[in-house]
Amino acid sequence: MDTKKISRAFLGLCFITFLISCEDSDVVSYPEYDLSYEMDTTRFLNTGEERTISLKFVRRKAIDNIKTDIWEKVPSSTISISSLNDSFRTQFYPEEQTIKVSIGENRTDEVQTGSLSITINEDQFNQTIAVPLRQDAAQIIYDYKIISEQNPFIIPKTGGEFFIPFTCMCQKTINGEKGDWKYSDMKKLRYQVVHTRINGEVHIETNGEIGHYKFHITATDPFEIVEGKQPLWYYVIRTQLFEETHVEYLKQLFVPENFNPEGDYDTGFIMGGSGPIEI
C-alpha cells in the first residue's frame, strides 16, 4: 500500500474531525435573566395559613455572544432561600420551583412582618430578591366586669374618710375565641369624675392584688348638700375615648345622707375630670 496515500487520508480525516470539533465547541452564555414570581404577599390571615410562591426564573441563551430566542429555566441547584422571620416557615420544592410559606395563628396585637430572600448563584450571575411577608394582627376584644361592694355609697353628714372595695375582671377574645374571665388591671380603661361643687375628693387605689381595688373617699366635715342644689357626684370607669364603642363598666355614685330624691333641686354648675387609668 502507498504510504503517502495513507498519510493524506489520515490528515484529511483529522481535518474533518477538527472542523466538527470546532462546530461543537460553541460558547454558550446567559446574558439576560428574568426573575419573577407569582404570589399575593401583601397579607396572611391572622388565624394562620399557607401560601405558595411560584418562581418564574428564566435565563436567555446566547451562542458565541449572539443572543437567541431561547429562554431556559434557571437550574434549581443554583437557587437558595432563607426567611428573616422564623414565624414564617418555608419549604422549597426544586422540581416545581415552588415555595410553600406558612405561618401559625397570630395571637398578639402586633402585625407580623418578614422577608423571604431568594438567591440565584451561578458562575456569571449572582442576585438576591426579597419577597415581603406580612400577617395581620390578631383581632382582640376586651370585656370587663367591674363590681363595687357598695353602690351607691351613702356619705354621712359628718363626712370622713372611706374606702369602698371593688374588683375588675377581664375576658379576652382572640380571633373570635373567648378566653376565661380573669382578674385584671385597668390600664386599657379610662375614668371620669363628675360633681357639682361637692366638698370631697375620690381616687382609686390598688388593694395589693391584681384585679382588687378600692375607692378612697375624703368628704370634708360637714358634708351636706347646698340648699336648692342637687348633689351630683359619681365616678365612671369606661372604655377609652378613641374606641368605637362607648361602654361604662361602672358608675359609682356618692350620695349625701341628707339627700331627698323627691326634692326640687337645681343641678347647678357641673365640674369634673377624666384621664387614663394607670393601675
**Segment 128-171, tens digit of pLDDT:** 999 999 999 999 999 999 999 999 999 888 889 999 999 999 99
| pLDDT per residue as tens digits for the range 84-126 | 889 999 999 999 999 999 999 999 999 999 999 999 999 889 9
Indicate whether 7 pLDDT > 70: no
Q: Which residues pair with 271 in a beta bridge?
A: 195
| Angle (nearest 5°) at CA 251 between 248 and 255 | 165
What is d(CA 131, CA 79) in angstroms, rounded to the nearest whole number?
14
Residues with Cβ < 8 Å from 227, sequence gap 6 or more?
none
Domain extent listing, the chain: 28-135, 140-276
Check whether domain 28-135 has CATH 2.60.40.10, yes or no: yes
pTM of the model: 0.73
| pLDDT per residue as tens digits for the range 22-76 | 445 789 999 999 999 998 777 899 999 999 999 999 999 999 999 999 999 999 9
Check if 28-135 and 140-276 are the same fold.
yes
What pLDDT is stored for residue 3 in this prediction?
45
Residues with Cβ < 8 Å from 207, sequence gap 6 or more?
165, 213, 214
Q: Which residues pair with 79 in a beta bridge?
A: 120
What pLDDT is stored for residue 16 in this prediction?
43
Mean pLDDT for the stretch of residues 224-243: 76
Check whether domain 140-276 has CATH 2.60.40, yes or no: yes
What pLDDT is stored for residue 248 in this prediction?
94
Mean pLDDT for the stretch of residues 12-30: 59
Helix (H/G/I), strand (E/B), else coil: 8: helix
- CB environment 202-230: b (16+ within 10 A), e (fewer): bebeeeeeebebbbebebeeebbbeeeeb
What is d(CA 220, CA 202) in angstroms, rounded to the nearest whole number?
12
Length of the chain: 279
